[in-house]
DNA sequence: CTAGCTTAACTTGTCGCCAAGTGCTTGTGT
DNA sequence: ACACAAGCACTTGGCGACAAGTTAAGCTAG
């Protein structure tokens, strides 16, 4: 009889085990992990295997390492419960939940032509579309990048106003619009580019939740903006309850 | 004057660039990437840096490698548009969209006590709760693990029936329940354990979308099940439109 | 006795060599 | 001229030695 050995990836096994130790509180936040050599002996694998596993684990954001010292368990951040369902603005949502929200404008620039975005704005290829980026902080931590795409032909002063806008809704109201709706909201997962890693001060393997939507003036049916928000997935839990 | 050099992680820069080449179609699916040595020369970095970057990229599921041959761009899978909003069952959703859905039962076992799950089922600590796991395939590809937690005191035959159930809704109807609702639906992101990697045949860095919900009989207000679904995030786009 | 420096034993980080796998090219025997 | 095998030039994969950083103990000099 032949014995079939199903090879389970050693690295994944180590990550599983580390995860288990953390959730079972055998390893608490701030505590030092066993050294690479100790773990290598324990799992009977070369140090490099342990090392690769721990590097992956680090990039997911669960531990951090210091050369010459060791690896440590990160403080677990309590997930912020975010409701994706309501039609209220991000700012209002967060204030409602009692979070200390801060916003900083990071850019307001003319974007290069991109079919997908232009189409959604009903923009002509020769229109100027501005991308307004804001970084959202909660309790001082950057947690989301909020991109708004706005057609200059709809808002001629957007180039000047853009760098000052905190809430787009407030801006639209000032421009004479009052009731808003949106067509479709799509959710997908991406990884941060190096720029996004810097802005969100996160590692390359922290998944981002990308929420794409738009904002339409109910009265004129005009598309005011297209939005693309990138949330750090390790900081949130989303309530997507229907009612 | 002091020149401050902001160090951008070399690995991330390489990944950014590879991603860019793929979306800009400088590299098409099936095509071979430049070798590690070529890229190392191009970016003026040691081969190991390129290697680490490409390994990460591979684990995200964008490329695959063959020893002795090279690295190749994977076929981009067209994301399946899944509506998270409706109250119809997974099976119905998929059939409605015209996808070739297949389900296989992978386990039906008494679970160990876990406070969170037991609480949500209003189960006593001494109750037997069964975990019924099904693997969902679309076009032959495994794409989601569907876990249902059911209290034996509500469904005494669950141990025997479990391994045969494809649709829980159908099962509940057969048991005399007809109208269902759910309380809260939460969405979060996790990474696959090694078991989940095997079941979903995906790499360790493919994020999974975890959707937790429950099913309640409207008439009796009884909690019939707690569900935990793990979707491969690289295979889906979610429609979370409100209306 | 004490302050400060040296050293050694740990830690994680980097790099490069060689092993393993593939396929093309080349040479040889029929 | 063709078949086949050996070798070489490429690929990715794995591992081990060393570099760099940290800490604490112990020795030495004041």
ipTM (interface pTM): 0.86
Kindly state whether residues A186 and A86 are assigned to the same domain. yes
Question: Cα(A162)–Cα(B190) distance, rounded to whole angstroms?
Answer: 36
B5 located within any domain: no
Q: How much is the average pLDDT of A177-198?
A: 88
Measure, in angstroms, how far nucleotide C14 C1' is from residue A231 CA.
34
b/e per residue A11-28 (b: at least 16 CB within 10 A): bbbbbbbbbebbeeeebe
- Most confident range (mean pLDDT) of A35-49, A96-110, B87-101 is A35-49
The answer to whether residue A32 sits within a structural domain is: yes
Q: What is the pLDDT of residues A48-90, one digit of tens each?
A: 999 999 999 999 989 999 998 999 999 888 888 887 665 666 7
What are the beta bridge partners of residue A89?
none
Q: What CATH number should be reported for the domain holding residue A224?
A: 3.40.1410.10
Same domain, residue pair A49 and A89? no
The residue range of the domain holding A19 is 10-73
Across the interface, which of A59, A187, A197 has its CB nearest the CB of B238? A187
Residues in chain B whose Cβ is within 8 Å of chain A:
8-9, 11-13, 15-16, 19, 56, 59-60, 79, 84-87, 182-189, 191, 193-194, 197-198, 204-205, 207, 209, 211, 233-234, 236-242
Per the CB < 8 A criterion, the answer to whether A169 and A179 are in contact is no
**Is A128 a domain residue?**
yes
pLDDT for A182 equals: 82
Q: Is residue B3 part of a domain?
A: no
Residues B38 and B153 in one domain: no
In a domain, B2, yes or no: no
* One domain for residues B107 and B204: yes
B9 and A204 in contact by Cβ < 8 A?
A: yes
Chain A window 69-128, residues with Cβ within 7 A of nucleic strand C: 69-71
In this structure, the answer to whether residues A97 and A58 fall within a common structural domain is no
Please give the Cα distance from B226 to A236 (Å, whole number). 21
Domain count for chain A: 2
Whether residue B223 contacts residue B122, with contact meaning beta carbons closer than 8 Å, is answered with: yes
B96 shares its domain with B210: yes
Residues B85 and B68 in one domain: no
- pLDDT tens, B191-211? 999 899 989 988 889 999 999
Decide if A100 is inside a domain.
yes
Q: Does B124 share its domain with B196?
A: yes
Note whether A174 and A61 are same-domain residues: no
Residue A44 and residue A109 share a domain: no
Identify the H or E element spanning A195.
Answer: helix A194-200
Task: Give the H or E element holding residue B107.
Answer: strand B101-110
- Give the span between the Cα atoms of B99 and B114, in whole angstroms: 35
Mark which of A55, A73, A91 sits at the end of a domain: A73
Locate tokens 């909003």: which residue? B85
Q: Return positions of chain D under 7 A from a protein CB.
A: 10-16, 20-23
The CATH number of residue A35's host domain is 1.10.10.10
On whether the CB atoms of residues A194 and A220 are closer than 8 A, the answer is no
Kindly state the helix (H) or strand (E) to which residue A11 belongs, with its residue range: helix A10-23
Among A50, A73, A96, which residue terminates a domain?
A73
Which residue of chain B comes nearest to A233, CA vs CA?
B189
Q: Are residues A47 and A86 in the same domain?
A: no
- Among B55, B73, B91, the domain-final residue is B73
Backbone angles phi, psi at B197, to 5 degrees: -60, -40
Amino acid A192: pLDDT: 93
Domain for residue A1, yes or no? no
Q: Is residue B1 part of a domain?
A: no
Residue B85 is predicted with a pLDDT of 62
pLDDT(B224) > 80: yes
Q: Are A54 and A94 part of one and the same domain? A: no
Residues B236 and B209: beta-carbon distance below 8 Å: yes
Asked whether the beta carbons of A33 and A42 are under 8 A apart, the reply is no
């Amino acid at each position: 009889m032949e014995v079939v050995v199903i090879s389970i990836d050693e690295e994944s096994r180590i990550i599983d085990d580390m995860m288990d130790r953390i959730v079972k509180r055998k390893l608490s936040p701030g505590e030092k992990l066993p050294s690479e050599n100790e773990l290598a002996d324990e799992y009977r694998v070369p140090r490099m295997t342990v090392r690769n596993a721990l590097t992956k684990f680090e990039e997911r954001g669960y531990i951090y390492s210091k050369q010459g010292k060791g690896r440590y368990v990160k403080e677990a951040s309590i997930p912020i419960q975010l409701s994706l369902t309501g039609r209220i603005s991000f700012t209002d949502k967060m204030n409602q939940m009692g979070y200390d929200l801060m916003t900083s404008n990071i850019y307001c620039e003319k974007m290069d032509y991109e079919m997908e975005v232009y189409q959604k704005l009903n923009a002509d290829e020769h229109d100027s579309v501005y991308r307004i980026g804001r970084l959202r902080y909660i309790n001082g931590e950057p947690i989301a990048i909020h991109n708004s795409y706005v057609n200059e032909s709809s808002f001629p002063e957007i180039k000047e106003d853009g760098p000052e806008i905190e809430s787009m809704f407030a801006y639209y109201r000032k421009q004479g619009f009052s009731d808003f709706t949106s067509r479709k909201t799509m959710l997908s997962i991406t990884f941060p580019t190096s720029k996004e890693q810097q802005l969100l001060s996160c590692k390359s393997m922290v998944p981002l939740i990308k929420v794409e939507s738009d904002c339409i003036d109910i009265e004129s049916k005009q598309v005011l903006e297209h939005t693309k928000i990138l949330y750090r997935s390790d900081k949130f839990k989303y309530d997507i309850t229907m009612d």
